[in-house]
Chain A
Amino acid sequence: MKITVIYGTETGNCKGLAAKVAKKAAKNGVDIDVIDLATYDIDQLASLEEPLLIIISTWDDGAPPPKCEATFNKLMEREEPLPDLRYTVLALGDTEYPLFCECGRKIDAQLAELGATRLLERTDLGAEFMVTYIGWSKRFWKMLAGVFGKAA
């Protein structure tokens, strides 16, 4: 059992959430790779076999975190399909911005467009993400239990 988590962060919130997922994975006996989107080679997505979780914040009026801008753009420009990819997106944002969680929404739409399989509906978390994360976490792990054939 293995998953990959890619996070895109500026202030560290997404990285922090990735660390929480990793902690849970260790507890559940699931191997995990945690990778920073800023340093990730998008082309590797094509050969990714395990389920992918993308945790991404929206920086400013729909833009990605500045450090991830290049990788993000490369993903958005990608045209080669990703039919074997299985993924879900956890998006962070601030409801006071008009384009709430825009960046997560764009990634989600682009991966679907490229033919990847959405394992779980995208979840958008606002300022209360430290609390609302828990509800998402439950749904996420229930979904994975299904994927890995762990009967509830």
Chain B
Amino acid sequence: MIATPAAESPRITRDGNEAVASVAYRMSELISIYPITPSTSMAELCDEWSAQGKPNLWDEIPQVSQMQSEGGVAGTMHGITMGGTLSTTFTASQGLLLMIPNMYKLAGELTPNVIHVSARAIATNALSIFGDHSDVMACRQTGYAMLASNSVQEAQDLAAISHAATLSSRVPFLHFFDGFRTSHEINSLDYVSNETLLDLIDDKALDEYYQRALTPDAPTVRGTAQNPDTYFQAREAVNSFYKEVPTIVQATMDRFAEKTGRSYKLFDYYGHPEAEKVIVMMGSGVETAAETAAWLNQNQGTKYGIVAVRLYRPFNTKAFIHSLPKTVKSIAVLDRTKEPGSIGEPLYLDVTFALRKASRCLNNCLPHDPELIGGRYGIGSKEFTPAMVKAVFDNLESETPKDHFTVGIRDDVTNQSLDWDKSFTIQIANAQSALFFGLGSDGTVGANKNTIKIIGEATDLYTQAYFVYDSKKSGGLTTSHLRFGADPIKAPYLIEESDFVGCHQPQFVGRVDMLSKIAQGGTFLINTSTDADEVWHSLPHDVQEAIIEKQLKLHVIDAYKVAGESGMGRRINTIMQVCYFALSDVLPTEDAISRIKTSIEKTYGRKGPKIVAMNCAAVDAALAFLKQIKIPEKPTNAPASIEWIPDSAPDFVKRVTGPLLAGQGDLLPVSAFPIGGVWPSSTSQYEKRSIASAIPVWDAETCTQCNKCSLFCPHAAIRPKIYCESELENAPQGFKSTAYNGPGAEDKAFTIQVYPQDCTGCNACVELCPATNADGRRAIEMEQLAPILDQEKESLAFFQEIAEQTIDPTIATAKSIALRQPLFEFSGACSGCTQTPYIRLLSQLFGDRLLIANATGCSSIYGGNLPTTPYCSDANGRGPAWANSLFEDNAEFGLGLHLSSKWRSETARTLLQNLDQDIGPEEVTDFLSIPSKDIDKKRKAIETFRTRLQKIKGSKSTRLLQHLDYLVEKSTWIVGGDGWAYDIGFGGLDHVLATGANVNVLVLDTEVYSNTGGQSSKATPTGAQAKFAAKGKELPKKDLGQIAMSYGGIYVAQIAFGANEQQTLDVLREAESYQGPSLVIGYGPCLAHGIDLSHGPARQKSAVDSGYWPLYRFDPRNADSDLPVFRLDSFAPSIPVADFMLNENRFRSLERSNPERASLLLERAQAQVDSRWARLEAMAAAGLEDDDDEDDGWG
């Protein structure tokens, strides 16, 4: 299918978010924003366009203000619109919930505005960033009009209609479309011009809007308080406006159709004109349902139809009834949300009532009173496929249709789910598809976005692209789903039958299911360094079998070789892209290659001609390495199954974690899951991701046993152990060991063991290893994993079995802490993450009594995102207990956890004292005098008490047993990033610190919203470029420590692990032991800074050396001692702050794009450092008034 070149057309290729943002930006004047997945890119684009000076419809440049939370955004928007300026915003999920209070106000005051929502699940039993309608359904009572879009094209068009209709009707609009499925799907759409947008706007309404503004020139008051005599009537005054909304929306849609030819109705009907079975729904699922109904009607003679709800609020019964074919006999209403305890989900209830009202009140009866059922689908982006649509119709066909059903899962507990035929699929006419499997960091997704762009620009074809990522921060699997064809692609579900499958990473073969979705006779391309003659034999049996059965064409290329030879290192994406074009016939290969080169020029032009030439050379070289493999008639390898989980693993891990790791999570039934959001810890040890191609290898001879490699390992994948030399008798060959060098070293051996399949290959350990031998080799150096994997696995197995020496729990030096078992291991954090070592330290210091409240963000994702959990337990089964509530409430949530455990501790102590005669008075007295750090002693005593209490009758004894373990006090840590601590959660944090409660706060300060991709926060420093700060941040970083110190009774410290590890350790221990609130702010260099994270610790050091990040402690306890309350732990800056800043891209990029502003901001940054240092020095000196060194005889 070689397509004809594109004619002049306004057709563009965009994702849903960009399509919406483009309209919202052009139709607004002031925009307030806050990041939340999956809406963030809309806000980012507006910020970028504003920074570039892009005009709106009125040739003015909209201004964008970032707020501290969505609550703040809504408040600002309330003010902006009451002030008479056009406004909009973008959000989803929890963010939308935070806007609800203001939404009532905005609607009650009839103030036009539009909130664009990429609809997303709400956190309930767990957080989900994925798509469904739970968030928007929580707003249906606010008084906002609600418009639903079902595709990228519609999202653009209905965005325009929302902005126009809100002005005309005065009712504010919530415009929504499915998170990810529509917000992140790239599709072809016809661009809506400024002319059309201007034409939609009712000039009179706009003029009236400006006139209504709150202004002293025509003063009024708003937001009065009304009494029982008035509120009710005044509230009813909005009615006539709501009555007009459907008419206004339809008129706007009609006007839009005149201008663009794209016609919409309040309720659109698709399908057989005399349909008997109809599905009512909204969102992207409409397209799947409509296409499936059409296919079934055509191929199976059914009479099916779909009603797409567009204007959901106000719900217009008349328009709804008119949209239904008169022939309808039964209706299934599909809701993409769950409302436990309700008679039915919201849309189901609306439809039910609309039908009843139509027949009883409007005298607008349908000939048959239709049978009505409701069901749920697609919750949290669960796939919704043609087969599921068919299952819903089949249910309608059945004698006794299931009501309140679910489709898309297997519910074996309440049996509400429908079965669906997994083999059913519908052909998409005249379309080609391609599926690519890549790694998060290998550029596969970027290359595919480029491919779609090339096809969209070079041909008349319609295109669609959708990308699926796993939840790992880096090194995760990406799947790219590309479709294109002569007709618009209306298939908002993953590819079910692909003409082409590209495997960009050889290690996926046999481990990732890539061939179940390939079409008969399809093409399979593998990037592999295995010799072409050997490739076939290297494939596992199942893959060979699938290739033979499906008669696939198998091609291979050694893309890493091509990349290496053309100087591209490990960048294979363009090479694979060329191969795809060569193997598919979507474009003539020559044409495709020249277009790829043009885009290389565009992307890398700034980096210089050499880089461009290298890329182009790789493109030219690629095809010579592309080889087709001859397929034998039968598989040549014997069947072998992969062991995802070792036999020794706990039952849950085998039953649930195993399928999740094997990519079979969708198949797990409801009964497999723990209820109430509980999940077992200690499961990351079973994941064995093996994402590093090279791992550190230890040299026992060179090592000085400082343990720094272990101390800084972001994934706890390097561990030291001291053990008896006699253990070595059973050591396998190649196990490395050396004599232990330290106190009590006799007969002791020492080993540093790398966990080869858990290491992510970040190289940080190598960079900071201080020991080198005579040849300049460090005590730890990277080596290719493949040749040493088996040896390292064997060594590790032995290492784990060795009995280690007891470590004195009261000592915590930088060296000895590494010897304690980390109770936070192998998380999904980025390779080289600098936050995770802080958390691991907490687990090593206080792990067996550690209670963590974790704000939503990076640390909640790598801390608790399935499939596996990195927090784990010690030999006694104790370990960190971890929970995430929300983003904004983390401090309060942590306070609650603390108050609860404190209550139980105090109750236990009181009961213990009450029962002392029964338990043993002396032992109770002894117990109460055990120092708080002697936890082992306490635990031993508790076991004795337990045994005795079990024999003592009475309610007090029973009650004490219920609280007994709380006699060891828990250590509460409230952990989160700067977005939480400085912005959205600051009010709560401030309050919790001010309560005086004994809680500890650890702020992992990356100076941006790392989890949503690096948006600016109030922790972002002057001169840094970040998303939402495209011009470079102007104002200084907020000084959170200084604010907290102003209370006087809070332990406050700033730490930077790579600059001073002992200070970090001391601070964490002091904070914990302080019987009051503690705030520890840890500097965490992040990928978003544009740095190489293998130098993370060095970045921390440079930040401290330049005075950018001074280390200090403020310990209120010292008021009663010789030590000062405030002291500096770092020295006066020894390098200019520029030396620190200009090594990071976040600062350097501004220098490239706007050197004048960059140098101005740099000057400002230096002045800030200087003045802060002077202030801190003065504070430190003030604490030493009686004891400074002026009194030294030198006058």
* Partner-B contacts on A (CB < 8 A): 10-13, 15-17, 19-20, 23-24, 27-28, 59-61, 63, 66-67, 94, 96-99, 127-128, 130-131, 134-135, 137-138, 140-142, 145, 150, 152
- CB neighbours of B59 from chain A (8 A): none
Q: Are A94 and B1062 in contact (CB under 8 A)?
A: yes
A94 to B1132 Cα, complex, angstroms: 22
**Within the assembled complex, what's the spacing in Å between the Cα atoms of A48 and B795?**
53
Q: Are A131 and B770 in contact (CB under 8 A)?
A: no
B1132 touches A137 (CB 8 A): no
Contact of A134 among B816, B1061, B1062, B1184 (CB under 8 A): B1184
Task: Give the 7 A-B CB pairs with smallest separation, nearest first.
Answer: A16-B1131, A141-B1192, A152-B1193, A137-B1189, A145-B1193, A66-B770, A28-B1194
CB distance from A9 to the nearest CB of B (A): 11
Q: Considering the complex, which residues of chain B in the window 760-815 have a beta carbon less than 8 Å from any beta carbon of chain A?
A: 770-771, 811-813, 815
Q: Are B1192 and A142 in contact (CB under 8 A)?
A: yes
Q: Are B1194 and A19 in contact (CB under 8 A)?
A: no
Inside 8 A of B742's CB, which chain A residues have their CB?
60-61
Alpha-carbon separation in the docked complex, A11 to B743 (Å): 22
Q: Are A135 and B706 in contact (CB under 8 A)?
A: no
A94 to B1065, CA, bound (A): 12
Chain A nearest CB, measured from B1055 CB (Å): 14
Q: Let me know if B705 is at the binding interface, CB within 8 A.
A: yes
Can you list, as one digit per residue, whether each of B873-902 has a CB less than 8 Å from chain A (1) or not (0)? 000000000000000000000000000000
- Report the bound CA distance from A141 to B705 in whole Å: 38
Q: Are the CB atoms of A150 and B1193 closer together than 8 Å?
A: yes
Task: Specify which chain A residues have a CB less than 8 angstroms from the CB of B813 in the assembled complex.
Answer: 94, 96-97
Q: Which of B78-86, B194-202, B326-334, B1122-1130 contacts A (4 or more CB under 8 A)?
A: B1122-1130
In the bound complex, what is the Cα–Cα distance between A131 and B1188 (angstroms)? 10
| B1193 touches which of A20, A59, A135, A141 (Cβ 8 Å) | A141
In the complex, what's the smallest C-beta–C-beta distance from B896 to chain A, in angstroms? 35
B1101: chain A residues at CB < 8 Å are 12
> A63 with B1184: in contact, given A96-B811, A138-B1189 (CB under 8 Å)?
no
Least CB separation from B1189: chain A residue: A137
Contact B1127 A141 (CB under 8 A): no
Task: Tell me the bound Cα distance from A128 to B1066 in angstroms.
Answer: 11
Q: Are B1188 and A134 in contact (CB under 8 A)?
A: yes
Residues of A within 8 A of B929 (CB): none
CB <8 Å contact, B1123 and A128: yes
Whether B706 pairs with A138 at a CB distance below 8 angstroms is no
Specify which chain A residues have a CB less than 8 angstroms from the CB of B1191 in the assembled complex: 138
A138 to B1129, alpha carbons, bound, how many Å? 20
Q: List 28 A-B contacts (CB under 8 A).
A: A12-B1059, A12-B1105, A15-B1134, A16-B1130, A17-B1131, A19-B1131, A19-B1134, A20-B1132, A59-B704, A60-B704, A60-B705, A60-B815, A66-B706, A96-B812, A98-B743, A99-B743, A127-B1062, A127-B1066, A131-B1127, A134-B1187, A134-B1189, A137-B1189, A137-B1192, A141-B1189, A145-B1193, A150-B1193, A150-B1194, A152-B1193
- Give the residues in chain B near A13, CB-CB below 8 Å: 1060
Taken together as a complex, chains A and B put the C-alpha atoms of A59 and B1062 apart, in Å, by 12
Q: How far is the CA of A142 from the CA of B811 in the complex (A)?
A: 37
Residues of A with C-beta under 8 A to B1189 = 24, 134, 137-138, 141
Minimum CB–CB distance for B383 against chain A, Å: 53
The residue that A145 contacts in the complex, of B1059, B1130, B1194, with Cβ under 8 A, is B1194
Pick the contact of B1132 from A19, A96, A97, A141 — CB < 8 Å? A19
Chain A contacts for B815, CB-based, 8 A: 60
Chain B minimum-CB-distance residue to A134:
B1189
Assess whether A66 is in contact with B771, with CB atoms less than 8 Å apart.
yes
CB neighbours (8 Å) of A63 from chain B are 704
Nearest residue, chain A, Cβ from B1187: A134
Chain A's closest residue to B741 (CB) is A61
Whole-angstrom distance between the Cβ of A123 and the nearest chain B Cβ: 13
Contact residues in B for A94 (Cβ distance below 8 Å) = 813, 1062
A66 to B1130, CA, bound (A): 21
Bound-state Cα–Cα, A27 to B1195, Å: 10
How distant is the Cα of A13 from the Cα of B771 in the complex, in angstroms?
Answer: 19
Contact for B1124 among A20, A60, A61, A131, CB less than 8 A: A131
B498 CB to closest chain A CB (Å) equals 55
> Out of A97, A131, A152, which one reaches B1184, CB within 8 Å?
A131
Given contacts A61-B741, A96-B813, A137-B1189, contact A130 B770 (CB under 8 A): no
A20–B705 contact, CB under 8 A? no
Given contacts A19-B1134, A131-B1124, A150-B1193, 5 further A-B contacts (CB under 8 A): A16-B1131, A61-B743, A134-B1189, A137-B1192, A141-B1189
Nearest to A11 among chain B residues (CB) is B1060
In the complex, which residues of chain A have a beta carbon less than 8 angstroms from the beta carbon of B1131? 12, 15-17, 19-20
Residues on A with beta carbons closer than 8 Å to the beta carbon of B743: 61, 98-99
Contacts of B741 in A (CB 8 A): 61
* Complex alpha-carbon distance, A127 and B1132, angstroms: 18
Least CB distance, A98 to chain B, in whole angstroms: 5
Q: Which chain B positions have C-beta within 8 A of A98? A: 743
> Which residues of chain B have C-beta atoms less than 8 A from A138's C-beta?
1189, 1191-1192
Chain B residue nearest in CB terms to A97: B813
Measured CB to CB, the closest approach of chain A to B153, in angstroms, equals 60
Which B654-679 residues have C-beta < 8 A from chain A?
none
| B770 interface neighbour in A19, A23, A67, A128, Cβ under 8 Å | A67
A37 nearest CB across to chain B (Å): 15
The docked-state distance in angstroms from the alpha carbon of A28 to that of B1131 is 20
Determine how close the nearest CB of chain A comes to the CB of B888; give it in whole angstroms.
Answer: 37
Give the docked Cα–Cα distance between A35 and B811 (Å). 34
Inter-chain CA distance A98–B811, complex, in Å, is: 11
Name A29's closest neighbour in chain B (CB-CB): B1194
What is the bound-complex CA distance between A135 and B1062, given in angstroms? 22
| Interface mask (B1040-1056 → A, CB under 8 Å = 1, otherwise 0) | 00000000000000000
Q: Whole-angstrom distance between the alpha carbons of A83 and B926 in the complex?
A: 60
Distance in angstroms from B844 CB to nearest chain A CB is 15
Complex interface bits, B1129-1153 against A, C-beta within 8 A gives 1, otherwise 0: 1111010000000000000000000
Question: Of all chain B residues, which has the CB nearest A148?
Answer: B1194
Q: Which residues of chain B are within 8 angstroms of A59 by Cβ–Cβ distance? A: 704, 706
Q: Which residues does chain A contribute within 8 Å of B1123, judged by CB atoms?
A: 128, 131
- By the criterion CB–CB under 8 Å, are A142 and B1193 in contact? yes
Q: How far is the CA of A97 from the CA of B1127 in the complex (A)?
A: 23
- Within B572-604, the residues touching A (CB, 8 Å) are none
Closest residue of B by beta carbon distance from A142:
B1193
Q: How far is the CB of B815 from chain A (nearest CB, A)?
A: 6
Give the residue name and chain of the A residue nearest to B1129 (CB).
A130
Question: Closest CB of chain B to A74's CB: distance in Å?
Answer: 16
In the bound complex, CA of A7 to CA of B1191 (Å):
25
Give A107 to B1134 CA distance when docked, in angstroms.
27
**What is the distance, in angstroms, from B373's C-beta to the closest C-beta of chain A?**
70
- Chain B residues in 8 Å Cβ range of A127: 1062, 1066
A146 to chain B, nearest CB (A): 8
- CA–CA, A38 to B598, complex, Å? 53
Residues of chain B lying within 8 A (CB to CB) of residue A27: 1194
Rounded to whole Å, the gap between the CB of B511 and the closest CB of chain A is 42
Q: Which residues of B contact A152 (CB under 8 A)?
A: 1193
Which of B741, B770, B1061, B1193: most chain A Cβ within 10 A?
A: B1193
How long is the Cα–Cα vector from A96 to B807 in the complex, in angstroms? 13
| CB nearest neighbor in A for B1063 | A127
On chain A, the residues within 8 Å of B1062 by CB distance are 11, 94, 127
Interface string of B280-307 (1 = CB under 8 A from A): 0000000000000000000000000000
Q: Which of B1063-1122 contact A (CB under 8 A)?
A: 1066, 1101, 1105
Q: How far is the CA of A141 from the CA of B1061 in the complex (A)?
A: 31
- Complex CA distance for A128 and B1180, rounded to whole angstroms: 13
Give the shortest distance, in Å, between B240 (CB) and chain A (any CB): 72
**B1029 to nearest A CB, angstroms?**
32
Which residues of B (1009-1034) have their CB < 8 Å from a CB of A?
none
With the chains together, A23 CA to B1134 CA distance in Å?
12
Chain B residue contacts of A11, Cβ below 8 A? 1059-1062
